[in-house]
Amino acid sequence: MTGVTAALMLSAVVQADSLRNTEISRGPHHRVLQNVKQIQTPRGPRLQTNQIVELQGGMHRLVDGNWVATDPKIELFQDGAIARNLQYGAIFAPNLATPGAIDLSLPDGQRLSGHLVGVAYTEGDRSVMIAEVKDCAGILGGDQQNELTYVDAFTDFRISVQYVTRRDSVSQNLIVEQQLPGPTEWGLSEDAILEVMSEFTAFPQVRKEARDPIAGMPNEHISFGSMDFVTGRAFSLGDEQNSVALAKTWETFVGPRTVLVERIPWKWIAPELAKLPAVAKDWRKKNDAVVVARNERRLPARRQGVAMIKPIEKVLTPVGRPRGYLIDWDLAASANSFVWTNGRTFYVSGPISVKTNTFEGGCVIKFAPTNSAKLTITGPATFLSANYTPVILTARDDHSVGAAVLSTRS
């Protein structure tokens, strides 16, 4: 074999190896990848081994002592639906009006069970419930079969509700599909707040931390240990880039009944709602929709013996999104702490939430070229960087710093 032939064979092997990653290890929110590439040196080409720590919330779940890839797919289950291949579990009732319509098993085994109650306007100490959840059936769809939608789910106005399971989180999306009468219809002013109320009947110990108010509204970070309510967003469908943050609090109402309350100023959303179809001409506010003192407001009675409308159905063909305004809550699994180590390359390939972060100087953090790749910090962050050892955040395809990140698939 000639030297030229050997060099060509070596080059072919190097090029082939450099096109794939080898997985070295994995954990709940990460895996370590290794790849080999050829680099030029004064003495000629040589092989360089690179290691990358890929991060994504809820990447793996523990099965019989082994970490296996998670799958957000929702399956039909006893007339309802279930997500069972994630770090958390979720069971959905066929009728959204069922008490405890969403029943979650958190990663630490704790239970969180609740249901959507209604939508209200509040101004100061005065409040009125303008729409409540009604009997409605679910439709299962989405590209990954991970979206469960209850169409026309409210009294009075056309509002649908969608639950979306992801590897790291579950979301409740309230989608307003028509204009809502303004708060002046109920004797309140344009300064009123729109509130979305979700009641929880079973939940683990709650940790609440006051956060900066949003537009003067009280705001809390709400944690159950292994999963947290992260900042909710509101936006017109198709215009997610112009979303606004929701304020949220965990409150006790008369009963006692425990409720997650999300708030957004009416003035913020009125221009977007005005773009939607008008409310029905024959709409009239209900006689029992009266303004009361907020601290005396009684939630609608929990229903007993909820009707079975029909089982949840699976839709195999994609369903187009309606026009609408979306208001969500997002419950995300989180890592308690993470050290972004000096000299290593980290690749954030999807959303990940970390409570306590330590960033050492010299670490390189690369992000996938998608809208979902993001790092959410919910607690303290310590930066151990210096002038010549910065913490670098950059794009996946920036090969000027850190190890080269090849395309990954998990």
Please identify every stretch of the chain with a pLDDT value under 50, giving residue numbers as ranges.
1, 3-18
Same domain, 81 and 222: yes
Task: Report pLDDT for 41.
Answer: 83
Same domain, 273 and 136: yes
Task: Report pLDDT for 287.
Answer: 67
Q: What is the pLDDT of residues 323-339, one digit of tens each?
A: 899 999 999 998 999 99
CA distance 304 to 62: 37
Task: Report pLDDT for 298.
Answer: 72
Same domain, 290 and 377: no
Range of the domain at 226: 72-332
CB-CB neighbours of 204 under 10 Å = 16
Cis peptide bond upstream of 351, omega within 30: no
CA distance 244 to 264: 9
CA distance 219 to 357: 23
Same domain, 43 and 186: no
Give Rg (Cα) of the chain. 25
Same domain, 295 and 165: yes
| Boundary (domain end) residue, out of 332, 363, 387 | 332
CB-CB neighbours of 180 under 10 Å = 23
Residue 66 within a domain: no
